[in-house]
Structure 1
């Protein structure tokens, strides 16, 4: 790699100088001055339209951003990513989630490792297990057909599969045996406890998903599930082979726990947790959609991979989205991003993207170990748009904080046969959601200029506008389109990491808290002396004292 630090410094200086030139320009003025602004500032790719005309950018800003990408050697970093180099340098690992969605038979080899063949093999093993379930051939230890599949995982082993399954209910596979897919992740067991009340142990299969198969949250829930089965069924022999599937990079630990070899699915060190839904971690997705639906999800992501690798900066959706974020965070000083899907099926998407973005790019140390010079990842948050309108849009429209927004909106909805009886009414509701999405994006951008006679309104009814946003439209929310959307955000995160010169594929910031929690648990259980700060010591004492109280709730000391 060449030393291009001076070139990077000059690119940043040019960006900031351009910002000084355009600082007073309001989005309303930009639209008034350019009737072709939408035509110039939107892009199409397959079933996706990306409209960034409401971002506070000009052609000159975009050119400076492209120059910054070149100065930071973005093309070189992309080549390293897709060559399977160990760009996760703190863990000496490649980041090859893109390899998980290559077409079957790709034959990919990386440093002599038959990566493509191994991925194909695991997909084939997944298919065998999925087809057994769909055909009603998977039976519990009592001989009853499995009807419920519970995924036990946390973080990337939960958020991705959960989000995709909830996003695609209209694409659930038609099977001989109806199957229900559930998720449990909380370490306190509350989700699992609630689930177990409604499940039949004879008919339940648990999927234990953990890359290391050592995550205490997941193993605690797994142990509870195992104990529940043993106590309810009164047997232990053959129980694990009939009621548990394991997904991990640690085959030995799965075997030690008791997962039968034929029920083990493999992932690899080069699959990051928050990038893992494309792997066997996506087994619950395949159970829900069927393998054809899962392969469509992979195909959509692969299409975005190809676009990312081949398109010029000016037409490259992940690059454009990433650089607009750089402009907002580092030049416009906008440190929050609201993700606002106008479709209830995408209610888990903001949570998924919170992990993807903030765990990846929430870093303050550059690749060489020095502190970053400016800000990195913004705070990412959001909700389904119609709900968010009644929660935090007040702040977006009239608050003191600048917030960038990503609106996500499908064009078509409710064409499926399952909605035939109420199709017209439901389509009308979808149009209502679309109208609200476009209206709020317009008002955020234009402010008072979107209102007739705004000058006559009292100050508390005025809108400042000039809040930047982008709109991502999907022709329809399908497995293919969702695959494209997720991969779009993945590559956006990578591009921004290159500009910020940080490693997006590790997460050391969460490790120490886990270690301290182990010691704290030992103190809480009286297994070691309480040696900690005074606040933690006081709270531990309170927990112990109040846990022993048997009086009424709210009892005073």
Structure 2
């Protein structure tokens, strides 16, 4: 029986929500000048401000009681201990083990999996050094200078995001490698229709291009189709055997070494990760190879260290001060008690342009579920719809809806306090100040409405701002590999906490499997045969692509 929404703390929160709706956010600030100090939390160089949320301290206390009722502390222990929290696939979810520092141990079925993790990390570093020092040569004997990552979903979004976010990070690796590292050009290909790859192949030099096939299963149809196209392209230019060609121009990253070998990728060109690493949590594994190739192993390891720092905070900090827990409970309050079903991710930093897309997958693929762990249909909302854009771009796109639309939306504002060093031009420093001003102004107006203006009450209706759009501000001292790692791990743990409260499994994704299965079956029917088994719409579309003028006027 589904009892979560019938529990005493859920009921108490519903009563609080009814009262809270009558008290606008700007009034909460008027009544409590200490609101920021009471509702903002810091972990090192990361600050999270919840003071513009539509709740009070009593609400947080009840939310924490709800988390305790859901046995959240026990679930956190299970996550880190390697218990099979992914019950539908009989797997643990041990992505936190990927960022343990060397010397720390993590056991699974009596085996210290940290040994495998560290060995794979060292193997990854060897490959990176081999490429950075110009020792990896293509079929013509020339050094590789371009690497193309072929993957989709978690095998694409995370590395792509990190490479863009941390592109300005000063290199710290051996100085003899820096010039070659800087000369490595990286690209990402994910589209099933082949358009991204086709555009790249027009300009790349086949003799100096290396492809990384990144796929947990090494069967993902769009990834393997792009890989086959890349191989065919190389074959047209190289005068060598397929075996030699693949050995010189392909690296595989997968949990299935036997499938990589079947495709032709030799053992020395393989990097592994494991079944206990979910695809959307795999950036911390060898799937992050492109991050290390573009930015250096030191940057990749600093990113791991930042994520581990957040892991330790999440694992050890009491719930009432635990940043990922509070972030998750804030979402629970907005979704389940204030009935807000939309969540905007608004980074005020162009380097984080891929963060909204990354979080869309992380959250909606994880918690977009309507069946609980007992196999029952839930009677409450789970994951909201996420979307977002760089803040200043979004201001000229969908902020009109945020400010004056009919939809309630919760917003995460993400910004770096510092951007440019003392050697930067005055114009650049001024631009960052302008960026900060916009970030703070927009979150202020969304939460407080036109109460921030002295003469707002005299404005006509079409110029009024209602406010009461709850906002969280996440501010990094500066965007570095370490703080970036903290940020992403924070959102990962937020997703897990919400899954515990909702009683769902965040580590499977059965909702995407049927589409793949039906698409595979349809491949054999696109020639127009055996259409009688299909619905009229799909059959009509297939007839149309085969030349029938169905429905043409």
Please name the residue that 2:14 is paired with: 16
1:463-474 equivalence runs, <5 A:
463-474=465-476
Q: Distance in 2 between matches of 1:423 and 1:196?
A: 38
1:515 equivalent to 2:513? Answer no
Please name the residue that 1:553 is paired with: none
Q: Distance in 2 between matches of 1:408 and 1:221?
A: 34
Q: Distance in 2 between matches of 1:494 and 1:234?
A: 51
Of 176, 183, 191, which aligns to 2:180?
176
Displacement after TM superposition at 1:197 (Å): 1.3
Of 402, 425, 428, which aligns to 1:426?
428
1:533-552 equivalence runs, <5 A:
533-545=535-547
Q: Distance in 2 between matches of 1:104 and 1:382?
A: 36
Displacement after TM superposition at 1:236 (Å): 3.0
Q: Distance in 1 between matches of 2:184 and 2:258?
A: 30
| Contact 1:152/1:218, CA 8 A, preserved across alignment | yes
| Contact 1:8/1:71, CA 8 A, preserved across alignment | no
Please name the residue that 1:189 is paired with: 194
Secondary structure of 1:142's match?
coil
Q: Distance in 1 between matches of 2:421 and 2:126?
A: 32
Structure 2: runs of 5 or more not aligned: 172-177
| Contact 2:2/2:378, CA 8 A, preserved across alignment | no
Q: Do the aligned partners of residues 453 and 443 (structure 1) sit closer, same or farther apart at CA in structure 2, a change above 3 Å counting?
A: same
Q: Distance in 2 between matches of 1:382 and 1:199?
A: 32
1:16-165 equivalence runs, <5 A:
16-165=14-163
Give me the TM-score of the superposition, normalised by structure 1: 0.95
Displacement after TM superposition at 1:426 (Å): 1.3
Q: Distance in 1 between matches of 2:31 and 2:135?
A: 66
1:354-373 equivalence runs, <5 A:
354-373=360-379
Displacement after TM superposition at 1:397 (Å): 0.1
Displacement after TM superposition at 1:21 (Å): 2.5
1:343-354 equivalence runs, <5 A:
343-354=349-360
Displacement after TM superposition at 1:431 (Å): 1.1
1:192-341 equivalence runs, <5 A:
192-237=197-242, 238-341=244-347
Secondary structure of 2:381's match?
coil
Q: Distance in 2 between matches of 1:10 and 1:492?
A: 23
| Contact 1:397/1:444, CA 8 A, preserved across alignment | yes
Displacement after TM superposition at 1:176 (Å): 2.9
| Contact 2:5/2:380, CA 8 A, preserved across alignment | no
Q: Distance in 2 between matches of 1:530 and 1:242?
A: 47
Q: Distance in 2 between matches of 1:5 and 1:447?
A: 37
Secondary structure of 2:137's match?
coil
Of 377, 384, 389, which aligns to 1:383?
389
Q: Distance in 1 between matches of 2:210 and 2:426?
A: 39
User: Residues 18-46 of structure 1: CA distance to partner in whole angstroms, max 9, x if unpaired?
Assistant: 22222200011111111111111101111
Displacement after TM superposition at 1:111 (Å): 1.6
Displacement after TM superposition at 1:354 (Å): 0.1
1:462 equivalent to 2:460? Answer no
Please name the residue that 1:483 is paired with: 485
Please name the residue that 1:413 is paired with: 419
Q: Distance in 1 between matches of 2:370 and 2:520?
A: 26
User: Residues 411-439 of structure 1: CA distance to partner in whole angstroms, max 9, x if unpaired?
Assistant: 111228xxx5x532112111111100000
Please name the residue that 2:174 is paired with: none
Q: Do the aligned partners of residues 6 and 466 (structure 1) sit closer, same or farther apart at CA in structure 2, a change above 3 Å counting?
A: closer
| Contact 1:97/1:278, CA 8 A, preserved across alignment | yes
Displacement after TM superposition at 1:530 (Å): 5.0
Q: Distance in 2 between matches of 1:442 and 1:502?
A: 34
Displacement after TM superposition at 1:522 (Å): 1.2
| Contact 2:4/2:10, CA 8 A, preserved across alignment | no
Displacement after TM superposition at 1:249 (Å): 0.6
CA RMSD of aligned residues (A): 1.7
Higher deviation after alignment, 168-177 or 56-65: 168-177
| Contact 2:528/2:546, CA 8 A, preserved across alignment | no
Q: Do the aligned partners of residues 8 and 80 (structure 1) sit closer, same or farther apart at CA in structure 2, a change above 3 Å counting?
A: farther
| Contact 2:135/2:143, CA 8 A, preserved across alignment | yes
Provide the aligned length of Structure 1 versus Structure 2: 543
Please name the residue that 1:493 is paired with: 495
| Contact 1:150/1:184, CA 8 A, preserved across alignment | yes
Displacement after TM superposition at 1:525 (Å): 3.4
Secondary structure of 2:202's match?
helix
Q: Distance in 1 between matches of 2:191 and 2:302?
A: 30
Q: Distance in 1 between matches of 2:403 and 2:2?
A: 41
Structure 1: runs of 5 or more not aligned: 549-555
| Contact 2:344/2:409, CA 8 A, preserved across alignment | yes
Q: Distance in 2 between matches of 1:258 and 1:79?
A: 41
Please name the residue that 2:175 is paired with: none
| Contact 2:360/2:386, CA 8 A, preserved across alignment | yes
Higher deviation after alignment, 518-527 or 183-192: 518-527
Q: Distance in 2 between matches of 1:530 and 1:160?
A: 42
Displacement after TM superposition at 1:235 (Å): 3.0
User: Residues 268-293 of structure 1: CA distance to partner in whole angstroms, max 9, x if unpaired?
Assistant: 10000000000011111111111111
